[in-house]
Structure 1
């Protein structure tokens, strides 16, 4: 078992040597220094389990040392040593983040007990922080799943821009996870402790959307019997998600633009402006470039929103993600309904992969929920699938009239050959008239080797 390391910070040489000897005899590894500046240098490069520091030090005080240790988020326990009767300093040390304190003069057993208690307190705090971070990570990324190139690009972009305040425009078909992506950006940002407010621009009548954004003073319109804050105020120091921004009526667009430019809003019926600190994430399933060209969306507002563009791929364009998505959703839906997660046979997965999913991940989630509810004897049958995927899987592969990508055709041929040969690669290669090595090369090229079992 590794010995625990103590960093002793004491400017009086005799006291420093005495305490160091006491701790060494108790089995600790002790590093000693005479100032907080030296202690900070040691903490930068050495592993330390607990800091034992006097409050009164030359230069930087013990209290300032404690503050800097906690600012750096170093996972070390901290025990403050105070003079006899200095209860105010002891209380202040605990308030600033010390794990315990001890007053001079102290006995050997008293010191050792204090160190053990501080270490236990810090270990619990570190474990709680680790679990909280793990849960935060799970909450913000639990449904953002995918190994496809398109989703990997999405993940990389989120990591790059989450910590900034840049305005983000998320585009993608309905059901691709635009709000989920916005929540992930917020949860990974420095604003994560602030509010995340979502507003659907298509769901609010044109006459009410201004007051929904900016709030309204009492008597501003019929039914406004009290002053009400809008979503901009509610999202102050947080994130405001504007879903379906392409549906925003033209008369409201200049008012939104002004709020974004000035970071100030005025309630409907009011005269006083309020400063707001809000990050904007907008989303649309429309082609906003075309909307601008056709005069249905203001060009200046579009450029204001389109600082970072994040395009979410349709589910049919990342079919390699469907098996892992389906398995994840299966576990999630089973937990939701308190049921055991049924098995997804290869034939069912094949049907899910073949279907074109016009409703994207949302439609897949609904389909999987149905499977969980209707599966018998712990196995999903083809009869448990909604009709659309079943019909899609029953049809032969045909080249669409509008044409298709050759690689899509080649990938589909490989899949069908493997299905017909029950996963036997040699037979599938012969069926397609391909040399075995060429067949294996194509499996790796399209990442089918992992998708279909040997």
Structure 2
């Protein structure tokens, strides 16, 4: 309790000076007052006060009045009440109203110090509980964003810092790291939380209807448009629009998105008037957008408009200390969801789960634990990890020869092989190489295939 700031309330001047002197000698910072009114003024004026030691009888008022004021206004202080009358009724009432301890006068110096130490400990526990409740509330707000690893704490801190603004956010990270969860958490603790949160995967919209899907369309704007269509931007008005896999947008849609970010207006398909909408944009991509810019696949000016506040979601292998917490979370969640009994994993299986690299990140872990919650088959859980490890090993079988390779020639040969195997079906060939359709076309053009 060294350097703790204590508010002393005693109307007997001699007693006040004696107790103040004793407490100062013990290392306390003392604010001495002689009435409830004076004590309330001091309490309001000094946020460093962490303890109150008050006499019961204080003129027209009492220490009980001060106690009730402090507790009803949630001042974070420990409180000890003293009475000269030795009344057990006073002591019981003080404890009932929220005092941490009481002293009957006359008291010894050691008794006073022990009572203050008890009150200080009780106050610290209250503050710790408040912090814990706040963290639990935040954890609930953060949906399934779970993690105590330093890299995840940085994510939480950044989300909290930018949530109150309308700044555009770009979330990067591998597939399965929880980019949409981060976007939802950001929305839920923002002033827009009561307005819509609309998520759309840009790579899953057919290019022929993507513009109408995002920006809306007037009746008759295209074949099949039998009525006005409300786009995602208009639907999210006042709220948040999450553009997942934003790198998949066509050049035309990139231009329209840039226009919105610059001017706050959209133009529905078939409409000649701009419409102002109030939407916060959060974009995400598992691709390196800067590399996409360098390859000519993504507009540089749009990249910088989106990347006002970057948030990077770390891969699960970068925060292995969180794997145990996530396993417990998903087990509890899915057992409750499916009404199955929660079972303990064996130490051997748990060790394998903790040491596995999780290339599919949190999504892969969730999927594995969900299957385990449904089937209760620990052997199948382990086998699925071994199967994935074998697949990963196969991808590492290619070894660069000592003399090196001609990358341009190598890439062209791979593209030709993919086209041949897919019988010139570009969509299938792109899938064989793990490329998006646009990236595949770009490489075909680059090699003049």
TM-score by length of structure 2 reads: 0.57
Give the distance between the partners of 2:43 and 2:264, measured in 1 at CA: 41
Instruction: State the shift of 1:222 in Å.
Output: 0.7
**Unmatched 5+ stretches in structure 1:** 1-29, 32-40, 47-74, 77-131, 403-454
Equivalent pair of 1:341/1:372 in contact (CA under 8 Å): yes
Deviations 1:167-190 (A, max 9, x none): 110011111101000000000111
Q: For the Cα contact (< 8 Å) 1:217–1:224, is it kept in 2?
A: yes
Residue 92 (structure 1) aligns with: none
1:172 equivalenced with 2:168 (yes/no): no
Counterpart position of 2:324: 323
Asked whether 1:389 is paired with 2:393, we answer no
Aligned-residue offset at 1:387:
2.2
Deviation of the 1:42 alpha carbon: 11
Once residues 136 and 239 of structure 2 are traced to their aligned partners in structure 1, the CA distance between those partners, rounded to angstroms, is 20
Instruction: Map 1:36-435 onto structure 2 (within 5 A).
Output: 137-375=138-376, 381=378, 383-390=379-386
Q: Is the alpha carbon distance of 1:312 and 1:364 closer, same or farther for their aligned partners in structure 2, counting shifts above 3 Å?
A: same
Structure 2 contact 143–185 (Cα < 8 Å) conserved? no
Change (3 A) 1:135 1:149: closer
Query: Which protein is bigger by CA-based radius of gyration?
Result: 2
- The C-alpha deviation readout for 1:378-434, integer Å capped at 9, x for no partner, is xx63x141523246799xx9xx999xxxxxxxxxxxxxxxxxxxxxxxxxxxxxxxx
Tell me the secondary structure at the aligned position of residue 348 of structure 2. Answer: helix
Distance 2:352 2:206 in 1: 41
Q: Secondary structure at the match of 1:339?
A: coil
Change (3 A) 1:137 1:218: same
In 1: Cα distance, 2:289 partner to 2:152 partner: 22
Structure 1's 359 and 215: CA in aligned 2 closer, same or farther, altered over 3 A? Answer: same
Do the aligned residues in 1 keep the contact of 2:349 with 2:382 (CA within 8 Å)? no
What is the SS of the residue equivalent to 2:321?
Answer: helix
- Per the alignment, in what secondary structure is the counterpart of residue 280 of structure 1? strand
For the residues of structure 1 that align with 2:318 and 2:135, how far apart are their CA atoms?
30
Q: Does the CA-based 8 Å contact 1:354-1:392 persist in structure 2?
A: no
1:140: Cα distance to partner?
2.8
- Counterpart of 1:193 in 2: which secondary structure? coil
Which whole-Å CA distance do the structure 1 matches of 2:277 and 2:358 have between them? 40
- Cα deviation for residue 136 of structure 1 reads 6.8
Q: Offset of 1:322 from its aligned partner?
A: 0.7
C-alpha distance in 2 between matches for 1:338 and 1:183: 27
**Alpha-carbon offset, residue 45 of structure 1:** 6.8
Counterpart in the other structure of 1:426: none
Q: For 2:213, what is the secondary structure of its paired residue? A: helix
TM-score, normalised on structure 1? 0.56
Query: What secondary structure does 1:174 align onto?
Result: coil
The count of aligned residue pairs is 281
Structure 2 residue runs of 5 or longer lacking an equivalent are 1-35, 47-71, 74-132, 399-449
Note the aligned Cα RMSD (angstroms). Answer: 3.3
**Structure 1 pair 185/137, CA: closer, same or farther in 2 (3 Å)?**
same
CA shift, 1:163, in A, is 1.0
